Chains A and B, each alone.
Chain A
């Protein structure tokens, strides 16, 4: 049996870095070398490749393998908890919602209701965070209706969402007053139970983004959160998903992606918009080449 040589040279690192950047838009500079090497070595060991060259060849030339997803998973931290990537929620309540209200007033048929789509719902932390953040930080909620629809492909996840029971880890970054206000702590099981008012405010649906017919009824959204999902999709599925979001949004509507994701590897249908705390992608109000 040949000796495993999992050493990664500078040139290996450069090759990998450029490939990964082209695929995902995530750029690792030399200061991340140690982090990248460690994760690459772990993936090489897990997949039984004796050296970097053989692993990289598999990654680059085997169209049917899903190793790239595993690798992205190990290079990105994908945890879900309440108020994760809070700066985007702040961006929503400080700037985006008011702009969306103005857009709606200028519509041919003005509306006092806004629609938000949160996908994937996962175990519910994101859609519920959006709901709580709006109630706590957006004064407009007194005047406008907001509908939150949250979807997932996985029905087990949707069932979990509807239950609304969370561990200490899920709520660890919530301020105490928020925890007290929206959750009931069960000292016996050490779980937090989300208040029924919040649970009942969200419509959970099962959806497969790859199924165009299924997504067709998702229309007239003002805002979409799709964080840390597309980065795991292959090029074609990402492109499909971007198409679905484009059709689901009203003109002028926005989409937020995860912090390590960039629309630059997915689609050019959206305009890049810089807010004070975050970048969002906008479906143009009027279109042209």
Chain B
């Protein structure tokens, strides 16, 4: 009894499992097996499509996290494209995780922003503004400005104003001011506009 020095082998080679077996485990294994399979499929040439597919049906958040984590190991333009579809997912968890992931890839997400901001679905437009919340892309302020100029949906506009409180610049103040006339009797929006203008105008 007492402290015991571990005899764990930490560099043991792992048994390799066939692709078919991994796909089977990903879809029908226990939670731990699904997570492991998701990990192993990251490096498999045909793994991505299976992972993307599993994203549709899986409900356990621990498995979903492993799938998303695995997909990110090889991020590229195609993956950005595939993930953008999930902004329309009915699964709130998947949707929000996808937003969080996309925020990290300005180069791949940037080319899609205008299309998203012009989507027919106002929810998708809000999610686009959510992506901009942390997207390190130099066009972010201009995209947000375009929202407050052209957008008709109050909640999309309100989300954009919220982000501009952080990244807006002084020349945007007139456009912000115009919002209070365009959307009269909207106490939250006028509060957000006031906050954004205060932060922009009094910035150094």
CB under 8 Å from chain A, chain B span 1-39 = 1-6, 8-12, 14, 31-32, 35-36, 39
CB-CB < 8 A to A14: which residues of B? 199
State the Cβ distance, A278 to closest chain B Cβ, in Å: 22
Q: Are B1 and A235 in contact (CB under 8 A)?
A: no
Which stretch from A3-11, A156-164, A169-177 is at the chain B interface? A3-11
CB under 8 Å from chain A, chain B span 41-82 = 42, 59-62, 65-66, 69, 72-73
What is the number of contacts between chain A and chain B, taking CB atoms within 8 Å? 133
Say if the beta carbon of B201 comes within 8 Å of chain A. Answer: yes
Say if the beta carbon of B153 comes within 8 Å of chain A. Answer: no
Q: Kindly state the separation between the CA atoms of A216 and B35 in the bound complex, as whole angstroms.
A: 12
CB-CB < 8 A to A75: which residues of B? none
Say if the beta carbon of A131 comes within 8 Å of chain B. Answer: yes
Q: Kindly state the separation between the CA atoms of A243 and B42 in the bound complex, as whole angstroms.
A: 14
Which stretch from A92-100, A144-152, A186-194, A256-264 is at the chain B interface? A144-152
Q: Are B4 and A113 in contact (CB under 8 A)?
A: yes
Q: Are B60 and A12 in contact (CB under 8 A)?
A: no
State the Cβ distance, A193 to closest chain B Cβ, in Å: 18
CB-CB < 8 A to A213: which residues of B? 14
Say if the beta carbon of A239 comes within 8 Å of chain B. Answer: yes
Q: Are B4 and A145 in contact (CB under 8 A)?
A: yes
Interface centre among B2, B9, B69, B167 (most CB of A within 10 A): B2
Q: Are B66 and A22 in contact (CB under 8 A)?
A: no
Say if the beta carbon of A178 comes within 8 Å of chain B. Answer: no
Residue interface bits B171-197, CB-to-A below 8 A is 1, else 0: 000000000000000000000000000
Q: Are B166 and A205 in contact (CB under 8 A)?
A: no
Q: Kindly state the separation between the CA atoms of A143 and B42 in the bound complex, as whole angstroms.
A: 43
Q: Are B204 and A12 in contact (CB under 8 A)?
A: yes
CB under 8 Å from chain B, chain A span 71-96 = none
- Interface range for B: 35 or more
Q: Are B1 and A15 in contact (CB under 8 A)?
A: no
CB under 8 Å from chain B, chain A span 203-251 = 203, 205, 207, 212-214, 216-218, 234-236, 239-240, 243, 246-247
Say if the beta carbon of A28 comes within 8 Å of chain B. Answer: no
A144's nearest neighbour on chain B, judged by CB, is B1
B66's nearest neighbour on chain A, judged by CB, is A243
CB under 8 Å from chain B, chain A span 131-149 = 131, 134-135, 141-149
A11's nearest neighbour on chain B, judged by CB, is B202
Q: Are A11 and B61 in contact (CB under 8 A)?
A: no
Q: Which of B65, B133, B166, B203 contacts A243 (CB 8 A)?
A: B65
**Contact status of A201 and B203, CB under 8 A, knowing A63-B106, A246-B62:** no
Q: Are A202 and B5 in contact (CB under 8 A)?
A: yes
State the Cβ distance, A114 to closest chain B Cβ, in Å: 10
A112's nearest neighbour on chain B, judged by CB, is B1
Q: Which of A10, A142, A218, A234 contacts B202 (CB 8 A)?
A: A10
CB-CB < 8 A to A179: which residues of B? none
Q: Kindly state the separation between the CA atoms of A166 and B5 in the bound complex, as whole angstroms.
A: 22
Say if the beta carbon of A31 comes within 8 Å of chain B. Answer: no
Say if the beta carbon of A53 comes within 8 Å of chain B. Answer: yes
**Contact status of A236 and B166, CB under 8 A, knowing A52-B203, A207-B10:** no
Q: Are A235 and B5 in contact (CB under 8 A)?
A: no
Q: Are A135 and B3 in contact (CB under 8 A)?
A: yes
Q: Are A11 and B60 in contact (CB under 8 A)?
A: no
Q: Are A247 and B59 in contact (CB under 8 A)?
A: no
Say if the beta carbon of A62 comes within 8 Å of chain B. Answer: yes
**Contact status of A61 and B137, CB under 8 A, knowing A201-B3, A235-B104, A268-B61:** yes
Q: List 10 A-B contacts (CB under 8 A).
A: A9-B204, A11-B200, A11-B201, A15-B199, A135-B2, A143-B1, A147-B5, A148-B6, A201-B4, A269-B61
| Chain B residues engaging chain A, CB cutoff 8 angstroms | 1-6, 8-12, 14, 31-32, 35-36, 39, 42, 59-62, 65-66, 69, 72-73, 93, 100, 103-104, 106-107, 133-134, 136-138, 140, 165-167, 198-204
| Chain A residues engaging chain B, CB cutoff 8 angstroms | 5, 7-12, 14-15, 18-19, 22-23, 51-53, 60-63, 113, 115, 131, 134-135, 141-149, 198, 200-203, 205, 207, 212-214, 216-218, 234-236, 239-240, 243, 246-247, 267-269, 287-289
